[in-house]
């Protein structure tokens, strides 16, 4: 099917406005136009150029890097293992995917991913300098997502998505049972709900900063919760509850190694004593939350069963893995798992590279927190690092129930950039001003 540009006048003007705003705002707000784009631009706003899809948010990358060069904000950063693993993941995914499909379209597809990752991740790495910047991002996010939460609540009552006018999302909201599954500007309700679930823990840190920001903490937490609930999806709901549990583990943060081994031991024990493999817990939880968790469990089993097909470079055809194939892609099953999709598209090496990114992100959170404590830094600054880790947990859980395929990726890149920046800042052992930065 030949693709055509679908950007409309409103989308074009909004993209242009956000682009110029990206250039003009002070560095401490360099993230703001991108955040607005994530929340209020759909990927229905796109320009096709030489078969490449330039979504509205992708167009903003040009403005981002023009800003960096114009303002000379490309600074020296201490290249760390998280940076290296992200580049390695990109490299393996490009090589394996092109070898798998060996055509021009495959190269364009992977080039688009590399353009997004390098464009956004390193833009955030250059413009986010310290914990105060991260605290500011969280405060502004609490304000920015409020209209989105209201829009999705309206959608949950009316069954009409106001973002339909921007294309890329349906006008009529999908219904499961008696509930509307709202998606707002995202391509799928699970993605919308996952976005809300991952943002929720961040706002908890605001409560322990300046007291005047406590209203923002409540506002942001309620908005994120409303987004998650409006999606009416079990995956985001599970991620949300896991985030709450992770937040409550703060008193045991010095003993997280024991907690991790305890979780691993529990999973192993369940696997040994359950009649079905432990990943069929997704099926049990799906039944409890009123969704189809069997698909996710069976998909993991089929991935193991067909390991020989995909481990080297990935696999082109997966329609025989599951009872139903995708309507638009009859050769493909619905791979609702980001880890498995990495393997399907790039083999075992790409899957492991993606998992290693997550491992290093968790390590950086733990090491940064330990250094802050050894320096006697304030509680709220330590809490900022902790909630970054909790948000990471939320994304990691969401990856088991959905494969990301729209602007939610940008929130993932921003989170990784914040974690990497905090680790570098603390690794340099430079003392920062412990005072909170006002908005």
What's the 3-state SS for the chain?
Answer: CCCCCCCCHHHHHHHHHHHHHHHHCCHHHCCHHHHHHHHHCCCCCEEEECCEEEEHHHHHHHHHHHHHHHCCCCCCCCCCHHHHHHHHHHHHHHHHHHHHHCCHHHHHHHHHHHHHHHHHHHHHHHHCCCHHHHHHHHHHHHHHHHHHHHHHHHHHHHCECHHHHHCCCCCECEEECCEEECCCCCCCHHHHHHHHHHHHHHHHHHHHCCHHHHHHHHHHHHHHHHHHHHHCCHHHHHHHHHHHHHHHCHHHHHHHHHHHHHHHHHHHHHHHHCCCCHHHHHHHHHHHHCCCCHHHHHHHHHHHHCHHHHCCCCCCCCHHHCCCECCCCCCCECCCCHHHHHHHHHHHHHHHHHHHHHHHHHHHHHHHHHHHHHCCCCHHHHHHHHHHHHHHHHHHHHCCCCCCCCCHHHHHHHHHHHHHHHHHHHHCCCCCCCCCCCC
Dump pLDDT digits (tens) for 362-401. 999 999 999 999 888 889 899 999 999 999 999 999 999 9
Residue 54 phi/psi, 5-degree rounding, is -105, 90
Average pLDDT, the chain: 91
User: Average pLDDT of 330-350?
Assistant: 95
1 pLDDT more than 80: no
pLDDT value of position 287: 63
Residues spanned by the domain of 375: 81-264+328-427
CA-nearest of 163, 194, 217 to 37 is: 163
- Looking at the domain assignment, is residue 114 inside a domain? yes
User: Average pLDDT of 403-415?
Assistant: 96
- Looking at the domain assignment, is residue 302 inside a domain? no
Whether residue 128 contacts residue 119, with contact meaning beta carbons closer than 8 Å, is answered with no
Dump pLDDT digits (tens) for 17-61. 999 999 999 999 999 999 999 999 998 888 888 777 888 999 999
Listed in sequence order, the residues at least 6 apart from 410 whose beta carbon sits closer than 8 Å to its beta carbon are 34, 37, 38, 57, 116, 120
- Looking at the domain assignment, is residue 311 inside a domain? no
What is the rounded distance in angstroms from the CA atom of residue 348 to the CA atom of residue 177? Answer: 38
CA-CA-CA-CA torsion sign (327, 333, 338, 342): negative
* pTM of the predicted model as reported, rounded to 2 decimal places: 0.94
**Of 81 and 294, more confident:** 81
pLDDT value of position 434: 45
What is the rounded distance in angstroms from the CA atom of residue 424 to the CA atom of residue 288? Answer: 42
pLDDT value of position 436: 42
pLDDT value of position 437: 41
pLDDT value of position 178: 79
Residue length, the chain? 439
- Looking at the domain assignment, is residue 269 inside a domain? no
The position carrying tokens 């069954």 is: 159
Task: Name the band, by pLDDT with cuts 50, 70 and 90, for residue 328.
Answer: confident
Task: Name the band, by pLDDT with cuts 50, 70 and 90, for residue 431.
Answer: very low
What's the 3-state SS for 300-315?
Answer: HHHHHHCHHHHCCCCC
- Looking at the domain assignment, is residue 288 inside a domain? no
- Looking at the domain assignment, is residue 223 inside a domain? yes
Q: Give me the percent of the chain exceeding a pLDDT of 70.
A: 95
Whether residue 295 contacts residue 288, with contact meaning beta carbons closer than 8 Å, is answered with no
Task: Report how many domains make up the chain.
Answer: 1
| Six-digit token string for 89 | 């993941």
Task: Name the band, by pLDDT with cuts 50, 70 and 90, for residue 288.
Answer: low
Dump pLDDT digits (tens) for 125-180. 999 999 999 999 999 999 999 999 999 999 999 999 999 988 889 999 998 877 89
428 pLDDT more than 70: no
Whether residue 123 contacts residue 61, with contact meaning beta carbons closer than 8 Å, is answered with yes
Q: How far is CA 129 from CA 126, 134, 253, 287, 384, in A?
A: 7, 8, 25, 44, 14
* Partners of 325 in the β-ladder: 333
222 pLDDT more than 70: yes
User: Average pLDDT of 242-246?
Assistant: 96
| Six-digit token string for 426 | 């603390």
- Looking at the domain assignment, is residue 26 inside a domain? no
332 exposed, middle or buried (CB, 10 Å; 0-12, 13-18, 19+)? middle
- Looking at the domain assignment, is residue 70 inside a domain? no
Task: Name the band, by pLDDT with cuts 50, 70 and 90, for residue 426.
Answer: low
């Amino acid at each position: 099917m030949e693709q055509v540009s679908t950007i409309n006048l409103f989308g074009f003007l909004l993209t242009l406005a956000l682009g110029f705003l990206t250039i003009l705002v002070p560095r401490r707000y360099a993230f703001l136009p991108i955040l607005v784009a994530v929340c209020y631009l759909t990927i229905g706003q796109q320009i096709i150029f030489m078969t490449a899809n330039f979504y509205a948010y992708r167009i903003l990358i040009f403005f981002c890097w023009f800003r960096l060069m114009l303002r000379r904000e490309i600074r020296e950063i201490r290249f760390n293992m998280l940076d290296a693993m992200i580049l390695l993941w990109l490299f393996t995914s490009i090589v394996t995917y092109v070898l798998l499909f060996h055509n021009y379209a495959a190269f364009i597809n992977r080039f688009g991913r590399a353009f997004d990752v390098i464009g956004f991740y390193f833009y955030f790495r250059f413009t986010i300098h310290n914990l105060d910047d991260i605290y500011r991002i969280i405060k502004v996010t609490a304000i920015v997502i409020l209209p989105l939460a209201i829009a999705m609540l309206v959608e949950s009552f009316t069954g009409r998505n106001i973002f339909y006018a921007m294309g890329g999302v349906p006008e009529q909201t999908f219904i499961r049972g008696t509930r509307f599954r709202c998606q707002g500007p995202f391509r799928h309700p699970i993605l919308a709900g996952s976005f809300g679930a991952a943002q929720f823990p961040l706002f908890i840190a605001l409560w322990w900063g300046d007291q005047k920001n406590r209203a923002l903490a409540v506002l942001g937490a309620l908005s994120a919760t409303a987004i998650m609930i409006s999606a009416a999806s079990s995956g985001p709901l599970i991620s949300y509850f896991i985030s709450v549990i992770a937040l409550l583990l703060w008193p045991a943060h010095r003993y997280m190694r024991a907690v991790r081994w305890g979780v691993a031991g529990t999973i192993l024990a369940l696997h040994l004593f359950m009649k079905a493999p432990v990943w069929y817990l997704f099926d049990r939880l799906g039944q409890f939350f009123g969704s189809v968790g069997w698909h996710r469990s069976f998909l993991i089993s089929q991935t193991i069963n067909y390991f020989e097909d995909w481990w080297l470079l990935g696999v082109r055809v997966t329609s025989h893995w599951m009872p139903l194939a995708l309507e638009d892609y009859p050769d493909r099953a619905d791979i609702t798992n980001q880890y498995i999709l990495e393997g399907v598209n790039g083999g075992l090496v790409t899957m492991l590279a993606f998992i290693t990114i997550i491992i290093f992100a968790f390590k950086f959170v733990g090491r940064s927190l330990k250094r802050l404590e050894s320096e006697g830094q304030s509680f709220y600054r330590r809490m900022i690092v902790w909630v970054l880790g909790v948000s990471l947990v939320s994304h990691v859980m969401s990856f088991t129930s959905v494969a990301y395929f729209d602007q939610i990726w940008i929130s993932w890149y921003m989170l990784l950039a914040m974690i990497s920046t905090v680790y570098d800042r603390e690794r340099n052992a430079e003392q920062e001003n412990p005072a909170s930065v006002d908005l």
